[in-house]
Amino acid sequence: MPPVIATAVLSKPSPWKKPSVARVRGSGRLPGQFHQAENPRGFSGLSAAVGSCPRSLSRRQACVRYPLLLLAVLVCGWPTAACGQSGWLPTSWFTKPKVDPRAMYPLSERDGPWLVLASTFRGDGAREDARRLVQELRGRFHLRAFTHEQAFDFTGAQRGLGLNPDGSPKRMRYANSRQILEVAVMVGDFASCDDSRAQKTLTKIKTLQPEALTGERGKSRAFADFRRLIGLDKQAGGGPMRLAFMIPNPLLPADYFNQPQLDEFVVGINADVEHSLLDCPGRYSVRVATFSGAGTFADQEAAADPDAAFESRLVKAAEKAHRLTAALRRQGWQAWEFHDRESSVVCVGSLGQLTIEQQNGTQQPHPELVRITKALGPDPEKLAAGTILPRRIEGILLDVEPRPVDVPRLPVGRR
């Protein structure tokens, strides 16, 4: 950096004012010398170099006649303190994240939910090859990379097509019965498949040339022999990960992407609600009350104008939901209300999952779900006696059976 800056300075006219002859004579200095006040940048080497020129040369002539001398003085005499300072940019901007050389960076449910499947390894050496690639992607290319393992067992007996003569199902085995371990390397942390950042990362990954996949490395890549046979890795126009594509996080439940999305009309209805279900931070909540706007009308006014009667019922349903939400909040419950085109509902709680895995591998309902169901469901004593009677809170009937529901999601553009 100092030589480049020095060249830029010397290629332009000197920014310092030319001292008058009277001032030079009065100061006892030569015409080519600088005073410290005239050299605020502290380039003492430049002052000495110009001051050592013959008296007949001005400062501009000295810069032209002795460019190499001035450049050498600037390079050698550049203030060392300036190098130790932060300079124009903070040094923290260039710090590289530390990468554990032995870590595999396994994928978790918190990552994603969309990622780029960069490469897959299988068989012997799959873990080591995947570790090298994920280390290089994180350290060299600064990408958020993970590994995900999945085992396949083809050694057991399988049920075949058809039946035996005695009527029992046919039992068959795979011709190549073995256990296979596959390790996938995934990149990213994207909200959707169409995310612009995800598409840019996908394009970048397709053109990368990681050392972990060049030469004799990465032999455990899936279908590596087939790739070499047809010359897939030697084709022009991309890197060894040119077949990368977007996938959802395989650790997420199957219904994760089936959460209901709302239209703009319903979003507008709930925009001014204080405790809206749209503000619930969890993925699930428990519906404890439902107020429908549909029904039958026996009065003449409803029969004459069914639209007005239906709208009136919706307003009453929304008012009941609002009153019940406020009452539950006063009792200490985390209550939410939600209104759509046909009904209003009240939910309680904010859950990230409905079940919890136990040490023995079994799934048990979430304790908060059990607590809400028992407290706001039917009276257990009357239920044991055969009487199903829903609870009342401030005169408002709750649902007979509280049920967990997915928290509705806002449209992608409004998140």
Distance CA 402, CA 331 (A): 18
Distance CA 29, CA 44 (A): 15
Please write the tens of the pLDDT for every residue from 128-138: 999 999 999 99
Q: Which two structure tokens, joined as six digits, stand for 228?
A: 């070499």
Contacts of 294 (CB under 8 A, 6+ apart): 310, 313, 342, 343
The amino acid at residue 132 is R
Same-domain pairing of 133 and 25: no
Same-domain pairing of 124 and 244: yes
Same-domain pairing of 239 and 375: no
Give the domain-ending residue among 191, 218, 248.
248
Same-domain pairing of 293 and 237: no
How far from chain centre, in Å, is Cα 61? 60
Does 166 fall in a domain?
A: no
The amino acid at residue 359 is Q
Which parts of the chain register pLDDT below 50? 1-60, 62-65, 67-89, 91-94, 295-303, 415
Does 92 fall in a domain?
A: no
Same-domain pairing of 358 and 298: yes
The CA distances from residue 73 to 50, 66, 380, 409, in Å, are 10, 11, 92, 66
Same-domain pairing of 240 and 345: no
The amino acid at residue 327 is A
Q: Is 70 helix (H, G, I), strand (E, B) or coil?
A: helix
Same-domain pairing of 358 and 294: yes
Q: What is residue 48's predicted lDDT score, i.e. its pLDDT?
A: 40
Domain membership of residue 55 as a residue range: 2-84
Please write the tens of the pLDDT for every residue from 368-379: 999 999 999 887
Distance CA 7, CA 11 (A): 6
Give the domain-ending residue among 216, 248, 280.
248
Same-domain pairing of 204 and 320: no
Does 75 fall in a domain?
A: yes
Does 93 fall in a domain?
A: no
Distance CA 85, CA 1 (A): 14
Residue-level length of the chain: 415
Q: Dump the DSSP string for 306-354.
A: HHHHHHHHHHHHHHHHHHHHHHHHHTT--EEEEE-SSEEEEEEEEES-S
Number of domains in the chain: 3
Same-domain pairing of 66 and 143: no
Same-domain pairing of 131 and 223: yes
Distance CA 127, CA 289 (A): 51
Same-domain pairing of 204 and 298: no
Q: What is residue 283's predicted lDDT score, i.e. its pLDDT?
A: 87
Give yes or no for a cis peptide into 113 (omega within 30° of 0): yes
Does 362 fall in a domain?
A: yes
Does 164 fall in a domain?
A: no
Same-domain pairing of 269 and 226: no
Please write the tens of the pLDDT for every residue from 147-199: 999 988 888 888 888 888 888 888 888 888 788 899 999 999 888 888 889 99
Does 15 fall in a domain?
A: yes
Does 122 fall in a domain?
A: yes
Give the domain-ending residue among 84, 104, 134.
84
